[in-house]
């Protein structure tokens, strides 16, 4: 019996000089556009574009710089018919991206800025709100307690959903991202605890969104460098999908899409 939800995949495209996994690789517009095409060809439903790195050592840039990096890539994707989301916490960047017809906004600060809430309220598109223990837009390497992480998640999502609903953003437009890796702690245990109980987040009635691709906790558990975390990443992504996550943001859509197709084939045989 078919019991698994449909999986949507967002392919990661970082147009930054300092992202932890692929900084400076796609900063050139032509290369970025080609990578976006490749992500879609490999099975992504959407390309998630980030123009400011969130890693602890990443540079904080102003909205105008972010827009300058995004503009030609968004424009090309719209011409090519490629669905795209923009990973940003800045209201001005959100406003620009929405004006250009992007399909989703992904806010790693959880839509805490009232000005950002106002921008999203006026738009008609889905928004990802991510939980993070750091208060700013950059992750931290602080070792943190995993025993209380589920309580913190519940407190944040309960309050934020109440607040956003009161502000006029309906629940059906909101996707919940529990955060992973350094957003939860410099140690792997918080991420593992969230994954172990990820299905509990279905109680809010929102779609779940997850990005664990190549992250620090996978490297810590497996003792693997960045370029050796593909299998660990895939294991986490399949676990998440099998436990209720309907959107996965990843650097490598192809192995995930193939794994899902294989599981579906096994599940559907009669």
Three-state secondary structure string covering 183-210: HCCCCCHHHHHHHHCHHHHHHHCCEEEE
The answer to which of 84-88, 137-141, 242-246 has the lowest mean pLDDT is 137-141
- Report the DSSP beta bridge partners of residue 247: 8, 209
Tell me what percent of the residues of the chain surpass a pLDDT of 70: 98
Mean pLDDT, to the nearest integer, of 25-43?
95
Residues contacting 106, CB < 8 A, separation 6+: 10, 48, 85, 86, 87, 88, 127, 128, 130, 177, 209, 249
HSE (CB half, 13 Å, CA atoms) of 229?
22
* Average pLDDT taken over every residue of the chain: 95
Q: What is the pLDDT of residue 1?
A: 38
Mean pLDDT, to the nearest integer, of 5-17?
94
Where do the domains of the chain lie, and which CATH numbers do they carry? 8-268 (3.20.20.20)
* Residue range 210-242, pLDDT digits in tens: 999 999 999 999 999 999 999 999 999 999 999
Mean pLDDT, to the nearest integer, of 200-205?
97
* Residue range 101-152, pLDDT digits in tens: 999 999 999 999 999 999 999 999 999 999 999 988 888 899 999 999 999 9
pTM: 0.95
């Amino acid at each position: 019996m078919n019991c698994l939800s449909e999986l949507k995949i967002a392919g990661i495209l970082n147009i930054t000089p300092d992202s932890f996994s692929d900084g400076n690789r796609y900063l050139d517009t032509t290369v970025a556009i080609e990578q976006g095409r490749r992500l879609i060809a490999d099975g992504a439903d959407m390309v998630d574009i980030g123009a400011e790195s969130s890693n602890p050592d990443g540079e904080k840039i102003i909205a105008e710089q972010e827009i300058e990096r995004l503009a030609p890539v968004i424009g090309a994707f719209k011409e090519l018919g490629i669905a795209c989301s923009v990973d940003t916490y800045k209201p001005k960047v959100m406003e620009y991206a929405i004006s250009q017809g992007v399909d989703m906004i992904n806010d790693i600060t959880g839509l805490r800025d009232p000005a950002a809430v106002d921008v999203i309220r006026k738009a008609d598109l889905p928004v990802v709100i991510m939980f993070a223990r750091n208060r700013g837009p950059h992750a931290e390497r602080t070792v943190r307690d995993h025993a209380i992480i589920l309580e913190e998640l519940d407190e944040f999502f309960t309050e934020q959903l109440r607040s956003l609903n009161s502000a006029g953003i309906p629940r059906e437009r909101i996707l919940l991202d529990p955060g992973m890796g350094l957003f939860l702690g410099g140690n792997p245990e918080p991420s593992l605890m969230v994954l172990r109980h990820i299905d509990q987040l279905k109680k809010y009635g929102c779609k779940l969104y997850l990005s664990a691709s190549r992250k620090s906790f996978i490297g810590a558990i497996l003792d693997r460098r960045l370029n050796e975390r593909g299998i660990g990443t895939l294991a986490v992504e399949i676990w998440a999908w099998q436990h209720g996550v309907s959107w996965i943001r990843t650097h490598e859509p192809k192995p995930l899409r193939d794994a899902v197709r294989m599981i579906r084939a096994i599940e559907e045989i009669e």
